[in-house]
Amino acid sequence: MNRSQATRFVLERAQAGFGIAEISLELSRELSAPLDMVQRFVEQVFDESAREQESLAREEKSAPHPDPRTPKYSGLPPGLQSVLGEYEAAGAPRPVEAEPAAKRNTVSEAELPRQAAFEAPSRGTGKYAGKELPPEMRRQLAEEIFQQLKKKRRVNDVTEYVCVKTGWHWNKSQRFVARVRTEHHDELHGPQHWKLLPSAGVALTGLFLAIMGAKWLFDYAKLAVFSKTNPEALLALPPANTFLALMFVVFGVGMMSGGLYGIGRGLIDE
């Protein structure tokens, strides 16, 4: 996770209603970094977001108002231009007010269409829209979320599933999913080295083949060196053995490279 991804992670959690301490703890687990260093980073993101919102608010207040005169009246006297421009502006439909900067900066563009469908409890179609679930149903829903997260489903897809099933608004569903992720963090992100066994087996097989082929080639090279004293031994060696040894080396190196690549990818994914 790079800096921009970590910043977006902090802003999304802040929009979901989490505090600095909760966000710092979860991000520290995600990055496997010291909590105090992560908390300083989260506080810095909060400060930068607040300054950016204040700057946007000042720019909106200081933006110059457009001149009511329009280019099509440019040939008329200035006084008449002003009167006609004001009359036209009064009859025009009222412009839509710009969305506040605080709301613009809280959600990524990829999430806007999906979140818009569940932004208010009144739009929920579920039985429990705007209500709390019974304890048994909460446990069942948490288990379903855990199983979907184990299958590497995207968090936004899981959040949408919760919205549809319960009728909750997006932020409440997002908080519930985040709580389940935090409770099962070790199970979702714990080491799963058993998945590396096939790659390790391929790498070891390739190593064995490469060693056997190299041994045969070395024996052939020794015979070639001593062929002056015993040429019959070199001629007695079948050519197919040399080709087979070379193929063992090539395939062995290839399998070893593929196995090591699989091990590396598995460690990165964990």
Average pLDDT per block of 10 residues along the chain, 270 residues long: 77 77 76 76 82 77 56 56 60 50 47 48 49 82 89 87 86 89 77 72 90 85 66 59 83 90 74
Name the one residue in this structure whose structure tokens are 């090591």: 260
| Residue 42 to residue 35: CA distance in whole angstroms | 10
Domain ranges of the chain: 108-190, 193-269
Residue 10 pLDDT: 79
H-helix segments, the chain: 3-15, 20-31, 35-62, 78-91, 101-104, 112-116, 135-150, 155-166, 170-183, 185-189, 197-225, 231-236, 239-269
Residue 64 pLDDT: 58
Residue 104 pLDDT: 46
| CB neighbour list of residue 7: distance below 8 Å, 6 or more residues apart | 45
Residue 82 pLDDT: 63
Residue 111 pLDDT: 46
Residue 84 pLDDT: 61
Residue 116 pLDDT: 47
Residue 136 pLDDT: 87
Residue 3 pLDDT: 74
Tokens of 188: 């979702």
Tokens of 40: 């300083």
